[in-house]
Structure 1
Amino acid sequence: PLAVSQMRTSPSYDDEQIRLPSLERLREEKEPRSATAKHLTEKGKRGKKVMDTRSQRKARMQKYVLFKPGERFYKGKWEVTQLIDNGGFGVVYEAWNNEKSMFAALKAEPTTSTGESQLKQEILVLRTVNATGKTEHFPRIHAFSKHRNFAFIIMSLCGPNLKALRSCEMKQPRRERKPDDMVQDHYLLGVGSWVRVGMQSLYAIKTLHDFGFVHRDIKPANFVVGTGQDMTTIFMLDFGLSRSYAFKSRRDDLWSFFYILIEAHCGLPWQFELDRKELERIKCTISDKELTKNLPKRLRVCVSDLRLLDIYSRPDYAAIHRVLLELKTMESVNR
């Protein structure tokens, strides 16, 4: 795996992008608000949950969770060192703990206008999974807190995600690329690599299911490699959409898992389609046979078996693992 330092770029921290810490936020650090606080209406009843618009969420991110290097959190124990990534819902920073001499990842999200945060669910899942100690393939929580306008969680620092590891830079702008150029530039993982990734990712999914949750957002960007002694371990991230599988199906996570394998091995049929309507048409009409035609035959059988499951059925993780193990053994013999 690539070193973590190779995957990061130094962000520009000019005054237009990063605000100075306000007195309001400093007061929030001293007076944290409970993550279970109820938000009441003027009449004293619990208000209806309201989702912020994209523009509202972006404005709250700009105001509350863009931090400068040197800002401290959790009683001053953790110091922001650099930006790692940002997205539509939050920002991830590298943080340093001088007492423990260790780096970690600080993930911050603005709360909604009603005070809600998706980090609440992520904290619940990680605390449940790691309740009896460190669980393989899941980051460890070091600290978390919720304030009036933002929430954050500090957890194990990992390396690049699978999407970053298997993607290469395109020299041409997206609108100027041709499908043939993208196929040539886009590289696929070797059988040995994607099988090993698949085995670890499958075990992470099974472990999450065994603790009573479905992920609901299985994709390459949410699986990362570890660092240091864990550099050969795949970790699962981003549990903000996770729910109890009493209400959601475990098979859906397995469908997304097979999409990861197909994309890594031979590419998804629609991944280079630029026309949005055509992309939608392909996704809605493609058959399982066409989707999996380039997968090894034994894996195609596993995909067919998913069609037989209802929303309450337990997937046969062992059968999928046996097929991946056979492919791994065959790859080792053929070297």
Structure 2
Amino acid sequence: MELVKVRPKQQERRPPVQNQQPDAPAQIENADEPKKAHVRIKGEMITCESQTYKVVDYLSKGTFSSVYKVVDNKDGSMFAVKEEQSKPNCQFKVLREIAVLEAVKGATENDQKRFAVLYSKCNLDNSMLFVMTLFGESLSSLKRKRKHRIFSLNTGLFCSLETLECLKALHILGYIHRDVKPSNFTIGLRQNNRHHSIFIIDFSMSKRMLCSDGKIISPRSNIRFKGTVKFAPLSMHLGKDSSFKEDLESWMYMVADMINKTKLPWSLEQDLGNIERHKQEVFANPYSLFKDQEFSEIRDIILYLKKLQYVDKLDYAWVRYSPFIPFSVKSAASYKNAEGTVLVTGAAGFIGSHTVLQLLEADYEVWH
């Protein structure tokens, strides 16, 4: 794969602060980031591109922005609004998200199903916002409600394959996510008829990997830490630029977090140096991440990752059908996709047609 240099720049490597929680995003991209941003109140009106929306609820606050549930005053339709306050000498992070969602419009119909629809965007006096599809709970939120804060193997494998398809759709657009974790994948809402699938969200840390001619942009050096420490790839600890393979590495950590009873070896670790060493051990000895013998096929994905270089594109079909599907069958997992087609059938699998929402609500237990 040919590399193309695009605006190369040297950056001083600045690791995240030592007392940061592993689950929290690294807050070091902008040192002058305000600690408190304006939060809109319920009932407040937002006007964007001649449409007026009323704030119904406050959904979340990220490192750079806030998300609200809003209702269209004209027809009562529900949407989500993401808003970022302006900061001196800083470019809006939501511009990255808007760029990705604009690119989605040119994707295949099948790939478009993995993303929110961008309805409108506007630049206000002190902020920038955009209106998009309203989704349901994140996988992180759903997982916290489960016993031991992990999914059943059945549900976890389904979510793993669905989120892999989300990453594939994003990578086809020429972007990488750089903050792959359960809280950045959501289920759809039944009232929007989007409860059949899992969706990828929050592209505030995304990076364009491909030029218009399909050539890969050359890596930069001394990269500042971006993403969430718990799921960040090893290269981010080392100050190296990310590519497609780093998203897959973070996805592997997410898979372990969703289905592995022992969770991630560094889940409770606070020292970044120790977390880095744990991740190095994963590549030296994949058993350190998936200890049980039943995970032998999953460990093959780590060996595959170990061979990849910055310029390599991912073999999603191999990940899906070589290690993952055989492991699912061996583990007696069974589920169907949005169209009702059986993806995997195992001896102890459940019977019947289930949507993702129903599967997550029931969370079928197949550990024993």
TM-score (norm 2): 0.67
Corresponding residue for 1:178? none
Matches within 5 A, 1:61-100: 61-62=37-38, 65-74=39-48, 75-100=50-75
Instruction: Give SS of 1:163's match.
Output: helix
Are 2:235 and 1:271 aligned? no
Residues of 1 paired with 2:159 and 2:266: CA distance?
22
Matches within 5 A, 1:78-227: 78-114=53-89, 116-131=91-106, 135-168=112-145, 186-227=148-189
The answer (yes or no) to whether the contact 2:281–2:288 under 8 Å persists in 1 is: no
Shift of 1:256: 0.5
**Do the aligned partners of residues 331 and 285 (structure 1) sit closer, same or farther apart at CA in structure 2, a change above 3 Å counting?**
closer
Residues of 2 paired with 1:129 and 1:303: CA distance?
29
Residues of 2 paired with 1:243 and 1:114: CA distance?
20
Residues of 2 paired with 1:207 and 1:131: CA distance?
12
Matches within 5 A, 1:13-52: 52=30
Residues of 2 paired with 1:118 and 1:282: CA distance?
31
Between Structure 1 and Structure 2, whose CA radius of gyration is higher?
1
The answer (yes or no) to whether the contact 2:81–2:131 under 8 Å persists in 1 is: yes
Shift of 1:79: 1.6
Instruction: Give SS of 1:165's match.
Output: helix
The answer (yes or no) to whether the contact 1:57–1:110 under 8 Å persists in 2 is: no
The answer (yes or no) to whether the contact 1:198–1:324 under 8 Å persists in 2 is: no
Residues of 2 paired with 1:126 and 1:163: CA distance?
23
Are 2:247 and 1:253 aligned? yes
AA aligned opposite 2:197: T
More helix by share: 1
Corresponding residue for 1:326? 326
Any stretches of 5+ residues in structure 2 without a counterpart? 1-28, 210-215, 218-241, 335-345, 349-368
The answer (yes or no) to whether the contact 1:195–1:327 under 8 Å persists in 2 is: no
Are 2:194 and 1:230 aligned? yes
**Do the aligned partners of residues 89 and 319 (structure 1) sit closer, same or farther apart at CA in structure 2, a change above 3 Å counting?**
same
AA aligned opposite 1:198: S
Corresponding residue for 1:18? none
Deviates more, 1:260-269 or 1:130-139: 130-139
Over the residues paired in the alignment, what is the CA RMSD in angstroms?
2.4
Shift of 1:91: 0.9
Residues of 2 paired with 1:218 and 1:305: CA distance?
19
Instruction: Give SS of 2:137's match.
Output: coil
Instruction: Give SS of 1:142's match.
Output: strand
AA aligned opposite 1:117: F
After superposition, give the CA deviation of every residue in 1:48-90 in whole Å (9 maximum; x if it has no partner).
xxx6435x4234x13xx53442322213422211111112211
The answer (yes or no) to whether the contact 1:115–1:149 under 8 Å persists in 2 is: no
Residues of 1 paired with 2:73 and 2:45: CA distance?
13
AA aligned opposite 1:331: A
Residues of 1 paired with 2:72 and 2:34: CA distance?
29
Residues of 2 paired with 1:132 and 1:319: CA distance?
22
Residues of 1 paired with 2:243 and 2:273: CA distance?
28
AA aligned opposite 1:304: L
Residues of 1 paired with 2:255 and 2:180: CA distance?
12
Any stretches of 5+ residues in structure 1 without a counterpart? 1-50, 170-184
Residues of 1 paired with 2:90 and 2:314: CA distance?
37
**Do the aligned partners of residues 101 and 133 (structure 1) sit closer, same or farther apart at CA in structure 2, a change above 3 Å counting?**
farther
Instruction: Give SS of 1:99's match.
Output: coil
The answer (yes or no) to whether the contact 2:107–2:173 under 8 Å persists in 1 is: no
After superposition, give the CA deviation of every residue in 1:253-309 in whole Å (9 maximum; x if it has no partner).
000111111111111112134666655553454543312333621121122011111
After superposition, give the CA deviation of every residue in 1:77-124 in whole Å (9 maximum; x if it has no partner).
222111111122111110101334310111111122125200001000
The answer (yes or no) to whether the contact 1:142–1:154 under 8 Å persists in 2 is: yes
AA aligned opposite 1:242: S
Aligned length: 267
TM-score (norm 1): 0.73
Deviates more, 1:222-231 or 1:283-292: 283-292
Residues of 2 paired with 1:81 and 1:292: CA distance?
43
